[in-house]
Amino acid sequence: MSETLSKHGVSPRIAVLAWGRIELAGGLGIFRDAKLYPGGAREWDWRETGTRHVPGIQPQDVEELLERGCRSIVLATGMEERLRVRRQTKKLLEDRGVVCEVLPTRRAVERYNELTATELVGALIHSTC
């Protein structure tokens, strides 16, 4: 698991989004799917938790973001909105008092980048379907 660190605990901004490619600003990394959080980012490897498009993003997928202090989380559902989010995941975030936005990937990246200026924000970004 390779991790990219940003400065001063700031969530890294996404500079380029294309099908199958997420490039972080400042040359901080290139990923297919990404976990982003205050202070860094890494590849989001679905095999770690057994995530699939259906039933979708699991509570285990967001645990690392919570451990890294995220108070707001953006979950991307894919370019064609095929990735779902499990009800248990939304409930976990709600129970922890974390604001969660579930958006199609292009909109999710825009929203995440907006929030990096003012929030302890994290994101799970899926760059394909």
pLDDT digits over 35-88, tens only? Answer: 999 999 999 999 999 999 999 999 999 999 999 999 999 999 999 999 999 999
Structural domain tally of the chain? 1
Separation between Cα atoms, residue 123 and residue 99, nearest integer Å: 11
pLDDT score of 118: 93
pLDDT score of 117: 94
pLDDT score of 9: 78
Question: Which CATH number fits the domain that encloses residue 15?
Answer: 3.40.1230.10
Tell me how far CA of residue 110 lies from CA of 6, 45, 76, 80, 125, in angstroms: 19, 22, 11, 16, 11
What is the token pair recorded at 7?
Answer: 């400065």
pLDDT score of 6: 52
Q: Write out the residue range of the structural domain in which residue 107 sits.
A: 3-126
How sure is the predictor about 7, in pLDDT bands with cuts at 50, 70 and 90?
low
Average per-residue pLDDT for the chain: 94
